[in-house]
Structure 1
Amino acid sequence: MDEAAGDLKQALPNFNDSLQVHVEVHQKSSSTAKTENVTAHVMQLLNRHSIVFGDYTWTEFDDPLLVKNVNSVAVVDTELKLKDRKPIDLEKCNICIHVFQLNEEGPSAENLEDESEELVAANHWLLPAVDFHRLWESLIYDSEIKSNLLDYVTTTLLFSDKNVDSNLIAWNRVVLLHGIPLNNPIFTCHPLGPPGTGKTSLCKALAQKLSIRLSSRYRYGQLVEINSHSLFSKWFSESGKLVTKMFQKIHELIDDKDALVFVLIDEVESLTAARSASSAGTEPSDAIRVVNAVLTQIDHIRRYPNVVILTTSNITEKIDLAFVDRADIKQYIGPPSPAAIFNIYISCIEELMKRQIIYPRQQLLTLRDLEMIGYVENNISKLSLLLNDISRKSEGLSGRVLRKLPFLAHALFIQSPTVTVEKFLEALLLAVEKQFEERKTLMEST
């Protein structure tokens, strides 16, 4: 190690001593190399590059085994713990290496038959799946949402592995991501939470991340996304049988102890709202029996050590309290703040620079950099301050819309193979203004 690196190591703070660092190794789908061999060569790579600044990814190697067998080696999720890019001495950290290959087959449909037709009751993925590759990294939040969810599921699986008595210490393996804070008085005026905030994507990304993170414990992951509207839209006779058949299929997956199974129920209020309607006399009594059966099935499968139930809701006021009580984590997912929007835009601009659509490459300052210079405008900070202004003007837009805006900016206001950062930011501002104009027009017409 050279003298400069040695000086830096001496200056590193003590937090490295207890820091657990996760390294994800994306093994090529064509590779037949053994995990232990890949891990050994990755350790050699890390020993040669022992100081990193936050998350870092290698895609080029001088080691023939890595060249042949590995797409990337990534130090990941350090910002979830450190909250900032800081120098990390890997030699002083507890390094966990996770080697994985992506399943490229895509989802399969779980079909169920009732008296008249065949219903697509669920989509089923083997994890980790190419469909969700880098989805986790694309989701940007202000608070510790991602870190808390990782820690929660990791703890539930640890407690199960250690046979902690659930009668003494209770946990239910149920996560609820919702769009409006529970028990909020604004329910009466605004019962619908904001769509497009990434609740469903976060569930899928969490399942993918944990399938990689726990690959030494489980050989593979399974994600079953239940189609609530198909499964619970029919309340007479066959509906109860459909629910039973669906959960029988889930039981078959859970019985494989080498599999980590995630059950995703999107728009979970479609279950519990029916029971509320039934109680009010607007639905037949079969509805309440079916929903009770669903809750009973959830109660049963959550006792298994290798299953996690992930749910989302936008209509929070309609979630049955019996279900809410079952959720260990009830996490609010709202629209991104200006700071999160800034980071979303930065990630989009970096991708366009990588593809040389934005050219030449220019380094933009982070929000922390801008704060350190007191937001003073100069030749270095000018473009970053413009992006910060655009981010503030974008407040109120969902993450789903924000990810589309760089495309719309190019399509509507650029339309050339390459563009400078400055011209792109001007186009992005126009795209943001157009988005709010269109929203205003739609509201006035309704």
Structure 2
Amino acid sequence: MDEAAGELKLALPSVLDSLQVQVEVHQKSNSTANVDEIRSHVTHLLNKHSVVFGDYTWTEFDGAFLVKNVNSVAIVDTELKVKARQPIDLSKCNVIIHVFHLNDEGPIAESLEEDNEDLVAANHWILPAVEFNGLWESLIFDNEVKTNLLDYVTTTLLFSDKNINSNLISWNRVVLLHGPPGTGKTSLCKAMAQKLAIRLSHRYRFGQLIEINSHSLFSKWFSEVESLTAARNASRVGTEPSDALRVVNAVLTQIDHIKRFPNVVILTTSNITEKIDMAFVDRADIKQYIGPPSSAAIFNIYMSCIEELMKCQIIYPRQQLLTLRDLEMIGYVDNNVSNLSLLLNDISRKSEGLSGRVLRKLPFLAHALFIQSPTVTIEKFLQALSLTVDRQFEERKTLKDST
């Protein structure tokens, strides 16, 4: 208490003082080392590199034990909590180490027989799965989508563990991701399931992802989640079979039953939110809009693509580009790195309007259409990328004019 001023002043801790740092350790498939032993060696590695600047991955190790048993050690998701680039002292953070294997068996299809043909009703993965390795990191959004989803699941587990009375405080473990096609909604569902399987590996031996093929499952009347409302309304006015109404009611009833299980989360996607039944919307705890990426998000998407091409030596020699944050802090400096970064920023700005699905294809198309050589400099690659963006919009205009 400041007596002179008569005000109570609280010293609030900084974000870094209470930061949880997540470390994901990919154990080799042929390793028989126990988890505690791996954690001990990883802790020793982190003690030698106690200060980091954001996310970092080790794939090469000095110690024989890690070389034999571990594919990678990755500090992940720091950017979800720390927005400004700054040193993170691991010794002052709560470091949580997750050790996991990747399942390489692929999905199992569950089929239904209809009119003498098999329809794939669902695909079933054991998680963490090889197919989804790195998917979470590849998804770049403008807002705190990933943070909110992870925090949401953490709270659902906490409330279940504490036996919170669900009649007094209700949660359904249902998430609705909505927005235009190609923005990463389905990929985010798969990546989220993979991330949870890794984060909860201390609690559950493995995770399971069941992807419902709604088009096949409700092929007579439905195509997407949003068709539920149309089917129910149509049934009420007599334009659809009464079976449609029973199916939709059954889906909603089963969602109510599933919420009793603390280890189940339902992730749903929709492109046409105005057609979703309000009874379903009310059951969704989170209704998250996933929109087209802004120029800043596009810049980061392109940066991740360029890093991958540099790592594989298609873009050679390797050259460091400035991030958007670096450009804002440093300002304009007349040198090659700064000029290349500004060029990428210009390309990102003129790419606005393209979906994430399209943006991830453009580096491939840039090479296929304008380069076609085993290696290329960063300067020539950016020129090719710029031409490819122009071509995308020209193709769109041509398609629009021809319809």
* TM-score exceeds 0.5: yes
Q: CA deviation at 1:271?
A: 3.1
Q: 1:405 aligns with which of 331, 341, 362?
A: 362
- More displaced stretch, 369-378 vs 62-71: 369-378
Q: Distance in 2 between matches of 1:135 and 1:277?
A: 39
Name the structure 2 match of 1:344: 301
1:225 maps to 2:185: no
Q: CA deviation at 1:311?
A: 0.1
Q: 1:373 aligns with which of 315, 324, 330?
A: 330
Q: Distance in 2 between matches of 1:139 and 1:84?
A: 19
- More displaced stretch, 156-165 vs 140-149: 156-165
1:414 maps to 2:371: yes
Q: Distance in 2 between matches of 1:440 and 1:229?
A: 30
**1:53-72 aligned within 5 A:** 53-72=53-72
SS, match of residue 81 in structure 2: helix
Decide whether the 8 Å contact of 2:15 with 2:82 is kept in 1: no
Q: CA deviation at 1:168?
A: 1.0
- Letter matched to residue 369 of structure 1: D
Name the structure 1 match of 2:390: 433
Decide whether the 8 Å contact of 1:228 with 1:271 is kept in 2: no
Name the structure 2 match of 1:215: 201
Name the structure 1 match of 2:83: 83
Change (3 A) 1:33 1:427: same
SS, match of residue 26 in structure 1: strand
- Letter matched to residue 66 of structure 1: L
Decide whether the 8 Å contact of 1:109 with 1:123 is kept in 2: yes
- Letter matched to residue 351 of structure 2: S
Q: 2:320 aligns with which of 336, 352, 363?
A: 363
Name the structure 1 match of 2:287: 330
Decide whether the 8 Å contact of 1:228 with 1:270 is kept in 2: no
Q: CA deviation at 1:114?
A: 4.7
**Runs of 5+ consecutive residues of structure 1 not aligned to the other structure:** 1-12, 180-193, 240-265
Name the structure 2 match of 1:104: 104
1:205 maps to 2:191: yes
Q: CA deviation at 1:430?
A: 0.3
Q: CA deviation at 1:229?
A: 1.0
Residues 306-358 of structure 1: CA deviation (Å, up to 9, x unaligned): 10000000011110000000000000000000000000000000000111100
1:300 maps to 2:300: no
Q: CA deviation at 1:445?
A: 0.9
Change (3 A) 1:278 1:380: same
Name the structure 2 match of 1:164: 164
SS, match of residue 98 in structure 1: strand
TM-score when normalising by structure 2: 0.94
- Letter matched to residue 367 of structure 1: L
Q: Distance in 1 between matches of 2:300 and 2:227?
A: 34
Q: CA deviation at 1:111?
A: 1.7
Name the structure 1 match of 2:311: 354
**1:135-174 aligned within 5 A:** 135-174=135-174
Q: CA deviation at 1:277?
A: 2.4
- Letter matched to residue 28 of structure 1: K
**Same amino acid, percent of matched pairs:** 81
- Letter matched to residue 405 of structure 1: L
- More displaced stretch, 161-170 vs 344-353: 161-170
1:49 maps to 2:49: yes
SS, match of residue 82 in structure 1: coil
Q: CA deviation at 1:161?
A: 1.9
- Letter matched to residue 408 of structure 1: L
Name the structure 1 match of 2:134: 134
TM-score when normalising by structure 1: 0.85
Decide whether the 8 Å contact of 2:316 with 2:377 is kept in 1: yes
- Letter matched to residue 298 of structure 1: I
SS, match of residue 361 in structure 2: helix
Q: Distance in 1 between matches of 2:206 and 2:283?
A: 27
Q: Distance in 2 between matches of 1:16 and 1:327?
A: 33
Q: Distance in 1 between matches of 2:22 and 2:289?
A: 26
After superposing on structure 2, the runs of 4+ consecutive aligned residues of structure 1 that deviate more than 6 Å are none
Decide whether the 8 Å contact of 2:103 with 2:130 is kept in 1: yes
Q: CA deviation at 1:376?
A: 5.0
Q: Distance in 2 between matches of 1:273 and 1:403?
A: 34
Residues 143-197 of structure 1: CA deviation (Å, up to 9, x unaligned): 1000000100111112112211111111110000001xxxxxxxxxxxxxx2110
Count residues in correspondence. 391
Q: Distance in 2 between matches of 1:297 and 1:287?
A: 15
- More displaced stretch, 225-234 vs 64-73: 225-234
- More displaced stretch, 113-122 vs 384-393: 113-122
Q: Distance in 1 between matches of 2:296 and 2:117?
A: 49
Name the structure 1 match of 2:123: 123
Decide whether the 8 Å contact of 1:50 with 1:91 is kept in 2: yes
